[in-house]
Amino acid sequence: MTATLTLYVSNTGNDHHSGSELAPLASLEGARDRIRSRPSASYVRVILRGGNYELTRTVVFEPQDGRAGGGWVRYEAACGESPVFTSGVPLQSWEKLPADHPGVSANAKGRIWVAEVPPELGSFKTLFDGAGELPRSRSAGFCPLGETAPGSLWYAADPTSLPCPSGVWEPIVNPEEVEVRLIPIAPWAMNILPVASVDRQTNHARLAIPATYAPTKPLIGEFPEGSAWLENDLALITKPGHWALNRAEGKIYLWPVSNEPGRKITAPALIELIAVLGRLDDGDQEKQPVRGLHFYGLTFTHSDRYTVPPGRTGLGVQHDWEQFDQPTAVLRFRGAEDCSVQCCDFIALGGTAIRLDLHCQKITVVKNDIADVGGTGIFLGGYGPGTKDVNHSNTVEDNAICRVGRHYCDSPAIFLWQSGSNRVAHNKISFVPYAGIVVSGRIVWDPAGAEECSRTIRWPEIAAALGMDVASVRNSPEPDWTVRERFLHARNNRIEKNDISNVVEMMSDGNAIYISGAGAGNLVQGNYIHDIPSKNLTEAIRCDDDQHRTQITGNVIFRFGGSATGVASKGINDITGNLIVWPLQSTKRGLISLELGPVSGSRICDNIVVAAHSQDRAVFQERSYGDGPIPRLADCHAEHNLYWNVCDPEWAKPHLDREQKLGVETNSHTVDPCFENIERGDFRLRSDSPLHALAFIVPDISDAGPHPR
């Protein structure tokens, strides 16, 4: 349909112009305000010419800036041009620091430059040049000496206490400017914590924000460079590209990559560049989402990293992988419907790329490139447990996401929390320090609001749904999943045809696809998970704590390391028709793992499992921790699976003999599947393959990953 209004924007334009092609406007805000003056225009195109658009404040779109009833407003790149939105402020007037300046490391003497920080900049955490982000100065890695509280496995008695090895603080010039980057005892979390004070006599630091878990050596995983670092001090500038900000002085120090700072050194003014903010129906207000707002072909770059503010205990989203209802992303939708982000680039960002918060429905995020970002790639975060379920029916498809979590290394590439009926399909995910795709509703049901996500629980809604008063619900023991499931809205998601490789590159206890504490009906289908050499990988696909009624079917898992588990289940979930082949290390558990009971009602059928080491286990059947029923394959509907070991033809016979006596693994086989070239990932069947006669189907992952553009 022909647009009833077309506006042009150029970085050489003027917001007092008409907005025609020959007299363009100058900014997004100028175009937005001009559209507000034309509410009768149902279809609006805003054509943005190429070049940089420098933002010093977040551009906010509200309900009047979209179009309801099938209309739309589309902000799009001019054909063949690249409009770039940045919050980078150039740093100029550099001067070389005298070689005898106190606090400079020996190898940096005579190489440090200093500049005054422009007044419009705050306490920025990232810095960029023309080639990307520059690394902030950091110490050598070390392991803190903290301890867990008595009787606790993961938590410290005082999570703001950070005892350090001797010598860590010795060279530091300004400890009050330092932040600690910390992988705590639970190596699935990373914190970046400002320092409140340091006792140099005892090497003890007091943190301004509590650590998520006890700040001590990680309990599992391999961290050869240490699990903690100090950042942002003049004394820690030891390499070209390193920099440090002294907020008190209003100065920045830099060892340039070349002989002197270039003209492209910029510091970000903003975390959030664009916010699409509808009116939510909290309190007495009636909801009014932003509708029909679309972004096409735009580039977003040079944003700052967020810091978790004080007072957020109980509001971190699963292990503090994200924050509940916070402006952590460059582009944020909060109260929006029928909007889209298409063919945009998100590159060199301090925080998350895209957030869909609270009330978001029918938002389409497709064909975007996301790379080198500090947080999560794409985050869908609904309301906490309750009856309000308004974050659903969104599409995340055909995106290329790599090198996320550059700051918060526990950030997933795609993260769905309390968000359901979404389609996450045909995305390519690679080179991620932690998890690929997470679907979660994990909550600690703590009425005091001190535990994980507990302040997001909507107790009055739950009480009304259960026919109880609020006090009784809050004081009752945590209800069983079958009772809580109706309040867990991460259900009925389709995670399909994604291409995932090289994940869990730094953190530990991570997975390519992870589902935990979510509702029922999630489908993980047709994904290609491959080439993950990390020794810290836990499982390729994992149904973790408190997860049931998930279907994992038709996935290919190939060349994976870590504990070398292909698919793991800690509940009643189906594992069917998957191809699990060629673990890079021998399994610590099993290529299929049952790790918690009960599992009765699970289906484990039609899988093809090919081991590569004589020590590998076909199926793990042990409770990995805690008390309760032992998960047994005999309690599942398990039949018609194929098990083969390339170095031991007899490998699977003891397993089949044992299980068939228990009445399962009927019509299962141990036979060479005869792939064309299993080591190279060619899973075509040779003409002599027995799978033709045995009715096994090799999953087709030829179309996994993004469609051609």
Domain co-membership, 326 together with 466: yes
Q: Answer whether residue 254 is part of any domain.
A: no
Q: Is the pLDDT of residue 193 over 60?
A: yes
Asked which of 431, 448, 474 is the last residue of a domain, the reply is: 474
Q: Once rounded to an integer, what is the mean pLDDT over residues 383-399?
A: 97
- With a CB cutoff of 8 Å and minimum separation 6, the contacts of 106 are none
pLDDT band at 207 (very low <50, low <70, confident <90, very high): very high
Domain match, 426 and 523 both:
no
Closest CA to 452 of 541, 322, 309, 355: 322
In a domain, 483, yes or no: no
- For 268-313, the pLDDT digits (tens) are 999 999 999 999 987 667 899 999 999 999 999 999 999 998 888 8
For residues 569-575, give the mean pLDDT: 97
Q: Which of 212, 231, 250 is the last residue of a domain?
A: 231
The verdict on residue 248 lying in a domain is no
Are 289 and 438 within one domain? yes
How many domains would you assign to the chain?
A: 4
Q: Is residue 57 over pLDDT 60? A: yes
Q: Name the band, by pLDDT with cuts 50, 70 and 90, for residue 259.
A: confident
Q: What is the mean pLDDT of the chain?
A: 96
Give the pLDDT confidence of 405-450 residue by residue, as tens digits: 999 999 999 999 999 999 999 999 999 999 999 999 999 999 999 9
**Residues 529 and 673 grouped into a single domain:** yes
**Domain shared by 595 and 703, yes or no:** yes
pLDDT digits (tens, 9 = 90+) for 246-257: 999 999 999 999
Checking phi first, is residue 705 left (phi over 0); if not, alpha (psi -120 to 50) or beta? left
Strands 391-392 and 364-366: unpaired
Residue 265 counted as domain residue: no
Please check whether residue 607 lies inside any domain of the structure: yes
> Which tens digit of pLDDT belongs to each residue from 586-635?
998 999 999 998 999 999 999 999 999 999 999 999 999 988 899 999 99
Domain span including residue 295: 270-474
In a domain, 422, yes or no: yes
Instruction: State whether 278 and 394 are in the same domain.
Output: yes
Please state the rounded mean pLDDT for residues 374-390: 97
Share of the chain above pLDDT 90, in %: 93
- Please give the pLDDT value at position 703: 96
**Same domain, yes or no: 440 and 517:** no
Q: Is residue 304 domain-shared with residue 220, that is, in the same domain?
A: no
Task: Look at residue 262 and tell me whether its pLDDT is greater than 90.
Answer: no
Residue 566 lies in a domain: yes
Across 29-43, 271-285, 651-665, least confident range = 271-285
What is the structure's pLDDT at 284? 67
Tokens of 568: 């793991």
Residue that terminates a domain, selected from 205, 231, 257: 231
- Residues 638, 541, single domain; the answer is yes
- Do residues 672 and 592 both lie within one domain? yes
| 36, 72, 380, 631 from 40: Cα distances, Å | 9, 12, 32, 62
What pLDDT does 1 receive?
54
**Exposure string (b/e) for 607-643, b if CB count within 10 Å is 16 or more?**
bbbbbbbeebbbbbbeeeeeeeeebbbbbbebbbbbb
* pLDDT tens column, 455-507: 999 999 999 999 999 999 999 998 899 999 999 999 999 999 999 999 999 99
Based on the domain organization, do 602 and 536 belong to the same domain?
yes
Any idea which residue has 């491959």 for tokens? 530
pLDDT value at position 286? Answer: 81
Q: Looking at the structure, tell me whether residues 217 and 359 fall in a common domain.
A: no
Q: What is the pLDDT of residue 53?
A: 98
Residue 649 counted as domain residue: yes
Residue 49 belongs to domain with CATH number: 3.30.1910
Segment 386-402 shows an average pLDDT of 98
